[in-house]
Amino acid sequence: MSEQTGRHSHVPVLLRRVGELLGPAISTDGAVLVDATLGLAGHAAHLLAAHPGLRLVGLDRDPDALEIAGNRLAAFADRVTLVHTVYDGIADALAGIGLAATGSVQGVLFDLGVSSMQLDAAERGFAYAKDAPLDMRMDPTTGITAAQVLNSYSHGELARVLSTYGEERFAGRIASEVLRRREVEPFTTSARLVEVLYAAIPAATRRTGGHPAKRTFQALRIEVNGELDALAGAVPAALDALAPDGRAVFMSYQSLEDRVVKQEVVARTRSRSPEGLPVELPGQGPEMRALTRGAEKATAAEVEENPRAAPVRLRAVERIAPLDPAHPSRPPQDRSTRDHRRSQ
């Protein structure tokens, strides 16, 4: 059944499964859960209600989402801290409430991609089915817009974005068409971009594989928000933050996100002892164990209840050994440098 949050309809994806996976780690009094992608707080509200001793640290880059989430979580206000930040700001968010960046939390949740609120708000420009300004910023107070990307990037830069972040095989053709048309009139709305995509992508291809705009809109959104750069820093920071027996759940909605998560999860669940040894070397065993076999998908019943669950890929891990200071994770990318690049 759909939940209503103001004017936004929101059904949290895999709510029951998330509760099952995180529950054993966050059921003790004083446990801390970091919801790194708070959104409309559907998962957070459920977990706070189910675990009366739980403390939540909720992160989101979207100030509108934080306001809505704060209202929704008002009944739990004494156990909730909301932080306006990108999800690779986990360490700073924890420091702000007096917690260490390593070994200090019992649970972490990532529900990646675009939130229901952002998709449903036509003026944000995320949905290609609605004509709207080409914005696509998850934090509308900072950074470049999708229109600025289309109107200022070179052919090579734009083709790279579409190919890398959208896995669009006609990236070069689309980039050429964008550059030709922006000389006549700059891009401002999504409908005009969709027209370009219909013109650039062959008709035979348009008849298969879903809407021809899907890959381009995904690529622009990732570029505008620096999503994969942020995620590459956020996943190791989140796993470092887990205390022994702490658990992390990651829900991805496209292959690029899932690849970033998978690489870090595999590295943390693998032994560092040389292959062929009869015993594990001290301190060289895996620091995490996988709680899922590969990436779990939504069931047919879950997709029927919530169509936005169809592409989800869920991975979960539990910390079985303290973080080894001799083998720290790679440091997160410097966010100020990345944001400066995106602001040009």
Specify binding-site residues: 41-43, 60, 87, 111, 118
C-alpha 11/C-alpha 143 separation (Å) is 29
The overall longest dimension of the chain from CA atoms, in Å, is: 69
Q: Three-class SS of residue 93?
A: helix
Name the DSSP letter for residue 18.
H
DSSP H helical segments within 226-280, as ranges? 227-241, 255-268
Closest CA relative to residue 150, chosen from 212, 196, 198:
196
CA distances from 198 to 119, 144, 204, 316 (A): 22, 25, 11, 39
List Cβ neighbours of 185 (8 Å cut-off, separation of 6 or more). none
177 and 200 in contact (C-beta within 8 Å)?
yes
Annotated binding site for S-adenosyl-L-methionine: 41-43, 60, 87, 111, 118
